[in-house]
Amino acid sequence: MADLKMLSCSVFFVVLFCVTSLGKCNEQVPLIMWSSAGSPLPSHAPPAAGHIVSTAQLESYLQNALRNSPHNVLLFLQDKLSVDDFTMYGGVFGNKQESAFSNLEVALQSSTPLLLPSVAHSAASAVTGILQEQLDTSPLYMDPETLAQLRLNASVAALLVFRLPYATSADMMSAKEVLSGNDEVIGQVLNIMHNQAVPYTAVYTALQPSRVIEDAPLAMQSVGGRSLLQSRNSKGGDKVPYPPVEFTERGSPCILLWAENLTVSILRENKWQRHDLSSQTFGESATVKLEGSACNESHSRLALNYENVLGFRSFKVIFVMSQRLYPVSARRWFTMDEVILEYEGKRATFNASRAIYAPAEYSYRCESVTSFRYAQLVPRTSKDAANQWKLSFEDFQIQGFNVTRKEFSYASDCAGFFTPGIWMGLLTSLLMVLILTYGLHMIMQLRTMDRFDDPKGPAISVPQTE
């Protein structure tokens, strides 16, 4: 019986891939929904192969599923996820020991899951609001440590949101390691719910696809022969999915902040525990408060106030900026002096003034701002609490002065004009030119003989004795 369940779970992931691969795979994410043992989901007609579930259809699916299911909803919202992740890391071809979704597979074996392999990413991004409206309760952003201290009531609806990261270019972990870590978080949460004997309904989806397959005409596919797997940024003009954080002073915008990912990590028991602040900071589900922020002509301070972050009831991320005139350049520059974390009466301070700066009338932008790899954020001292923290800001942009029309000014990018790749190309080209010049010089120095031995003339005699 156990083997049959394992086989059915493997078939589930294979079907998940096969169904999605039949249709367009542009900007869509999978959604899996299941319930605790003893509370099966009502049966649903699966969507047609290749059909992309819209926001209205997703709302209908969730409404029907929650009609007779437990109203303690666990929403595992990952930053990025695609069906390819299940086929690459799910062990769907019998390699169960290599699976990165072992806890998820065990949970699906004891339930009749709802499978939506192709959900429009705009609909998946709105799943928090849809569940909030249907359950008539506000979402609580949690982690396993906070959930273990919470006592749930089976008769009272609750929407618990668990943000899960995905590997990025600035992360030191591979995608499989991150997915395995996310699966461990899912397993911990489900074990806590089981120990508390609280029935639940779980949803696993993502905000964006981790892989995007661009649509192309058949003629181009047959002639070009190139892979259709592209990055989201290959289009070169993605629109900002949500507005920046805006702090106003006396009715006028004063500070703007935007990032694709804001991630903080703390070292506990020799393990790094991560938390993504993006959903709490940006978008419709943002819960961040800006209490403690201030700005004037020379100093700006943006304070992001959160609740329930990595087990801390109150958590602050503070950006401290200043601007002044530099006589050498004869212009005003602003610098980010410090990035401060405040939690439970403690403070961790990172120095950022050496790497994060821009002309005062510009904004500052950087693809990756971290404290651990090519670090722009450095702990203030060797004994500072910041040594136990890691910060990672992806596609980061901030402006603390001269904000107009609620829009960022021209961005001063952290990437210099001469990047390491450009320097490598220039030096390699220079070396090749020097080698070519030396070779041509040696060839031009070759001389032919102007005298030759005459075979009819007298022979050359060399005396043997002195």
Per-residue model confidence (pLDDT) at position 153? 83
Question: pLDDT-based confidence at 429, cuts 50/70/90?
Answer: very high
| Same domain assignment for residues 195 and 255 | no
Q: Considering the domain boundaries, does residue 428 fall inside one? A: no
**Model confidence at 75: pLDDT above 60:** yes
Task: For residues 363 and 399, give the distance between their C-alpha atoms in angstroms, rounded to a whole number.
Answer: 5
Per-residue model confidence (pLDDT) at position 238? 46
Q: Largest Cα–Cα distance of the chain, in whole Å? A: 125
**Model confidence at 431: pLDDT above 60:** yes
Task: For residues 85 and 175, give the distance between their C-alpha atoms in angstroms, rounded to a whole number.
Answer: 9
What is the phi/psi pair of residue 13, to 5°? -70, -35
Q: Considering the domain boundaries, does residue 141 fall inside one? A: yes
Specify the CATH number for the domain of residue 266: 2.40.160.110
Q: Considering the domain boundaries, does residue 401 fall inside one? A: yes
In angstroms, the Cα distances linking 420 to 45, 170, 425 are 54, 17, 9
| Same domain assignment for residues 368 and 321 | yes
**Domain boundary pick from 380, 411, 442:** 411
| Same domain assignment for residues 261 and 204 | no
Q: Considering the domain boundaries, does residue 433 fall inside one? A: no
Per-residue model confidence (pLDDT) at position 21? 43
Average pLDDT score over residue span 126-144: 87
Task: For residues 226 and 222, give the distance between their C-alpha atoms in angstroms, rounded to a whole number.
Answer: 9
- Average of per-residue pLDDT values in the chain: 80
Average pLDDT score over residue span 24-45: 75
Give 60's Cβ-side CA count (13 Å radius): 10
Average pLDDT score over residue span 64-90: 85
| Same domain assignment for residues 193 and 90 | yes
| Same domain assignment for residues 308 and 180 | no
Question: pLDDT-based confidence at 438, cuts 50/70/90?
Answer: very high
What is the DSSP code (8-state) at residue 421? H
User: What's the structural domain count of the chain?
Assistant: 2
Query: Could you tell me if 179 and 168 are in contact, meaning their C-beta atoms sit under 8 angstroms apart?
Result: no
| Same domain assignment for residues 372 and 318 | yes
The one-letter amino acid code at 302 reads L
**Model confidence at 7: pLDDT above 60:** no
**Model confidence at 216: pLDDT above 70:** no
| Same domain assignment for residues 272 and 198 | no
Over residues 354-401, the pLDDT tens digits come to: 889 999 899 999 988 988 878 889 998 888 889 999 999 988 999 999
Over residues 109-119, the pLDDT tens digits come to: 877 888 888 89
| Same domain assignment for residues 286 and 204 | no
| Same domain assignment for residues 27 and 122 | yes
Q: Considering the domain boundaries, does residue 222 fall inside one? A: no
Q: What pairs with residue 113 in β-bridges?
A: none
Domain housing 82: 2-213
| Same domain assignment for residues 144 and 282 | no
Q: Considering the domain boundaries, does residue 167 fall inside one? A: yes
Over residues 156-191, the pLDDT tens digits come to: 888 999 988 876 544 445 778 888 888 899 999 999
**Model confidence at 345: pLDDT above 60:** yes
Per-residue model confidence (pLDDT) at position 142? 84
| Same domain assignment for residues 349 and 305 | yes
Q: Considering the domain boundaries, does residue 218 fall inside one? A: no
**Model confidence at 214: pLDDT above 70:** no
pLDDT, greater one: 123 or 37:
123
Per-residue model confidence (pLDDT) at position 221? 39
Residue with tokens 């649903």: 44
Percent of the chain with pLDDT over 70: 82
Query: Could you tell me if 331 and 359 are in contact, meaning their C-beta atoms sit under 8 angstroms apart?
Result: yes
Q: Considering the domain boundaries, does residue 440 fall inside one? A: no
Percent of the chain with pLDDT over 90: 24
Average pLDDT score over residue span 435-449: 90
Helix H or strand E segment including 72: strand 72-80
| Same domain assignment for residues 321 and 381 | yes
What is the DSSP code (8-state) at residue 450? S
